[in-house]
Amino acid sequence: MKRSEVNAIIKGLEIFFEEQKFMLPEWASWSPEKWKGTYEKCSEIVDNKLGWDITDFGSGDFNRQGLSLFTIRNGNWDKKDKMYCEKIMVAGEEQETPMHFHWNKTEDIINRGGGNLVMELFMATDDDKFSDKPVTASIDGILTTVKAGVPLILYPGQSICLKSRVYHRFYGQKGNGRVLIGEVSMVNDDANDNRFYDTIGRFPEIEEDVKPVHLLVNDYSKYL
């Protein structure tokens, strides 16, 4: 992805968050220059990868396969400090987050507003393939069973609890606009806890055609 594309995406997200009345931490708007020399007091942000995360999953086509994330809080398995995570995410109409599961993490995915969120679920077999068995998950505390791979729609205000080893992909329903998506989960560890069904690039290579407006989580090491 080009940095100019990332900058434009973040600018659009800031407008969308404001429209949805979802406020981010004040450091979300820091410039790269303001981050310099802050590691000692901001080590929790840096080490636990809080902040902006824009990915096209290596597709080269963000609008087709991509996701915008901002990690608000996250712990660390090794430090055993916070054992939870919270994210806010945005998916466009038919913008896919590809099929994956988590080895350890249990998470609640929440439609916070905007459009409708479409999810497709599969249980994983012992060899990590798709099972054809129905999937039972908790939607707002109510056990709900769906057929494997059949689209399930979460309307604004609804949430689903996904346990480890449940494959899921999601995208905004066509014709209903972008979706504001919350995630509340156990500690997030993108380096070790994601199992994508197809090989993808979780963090894109950034072509630095312009300077960053805000840093991504993978930029911290370059600037601090």
- Give the pLDDT mean for 109-136: 98
Q: How far apart are CA 224 and CA 208, in angstroms?
A: 18
Domain ranges of the chain: 3-223
Question: What confidence category does residue 121 fall into, taking pLDDT thresholds of 50, 70 and 90?
Answer: very high
Among residues 91, 31, 39, the alpha carbon closest in space to that of 211 is found at 31
Q: Is the dihedral of CA 173, 175, 176, 179 positive or negative?
A: positive
Reply yes or no on domain 3-223 having CATH 3.30.70.270.
Answer: no
User: Whats the size of the chain, residue-wise?
Assistant: 224
CA atoms of 19 and 189, how far apart (whole Å): 30
pTM of the predicted protein model = 0.96
Q: What is the pLDDT of residue 78?
A: 87
Residues 6+ apart with CB under 8 A from 188: 49, 71, 74, 85, 87, 105
Asked if residue 84 lies in contact with residue 75, where contact means CB atoms within 8 angstroms, the answer is: yes
| pLDDT value of residue 153 | 98
Tokens of 63: 């609008």
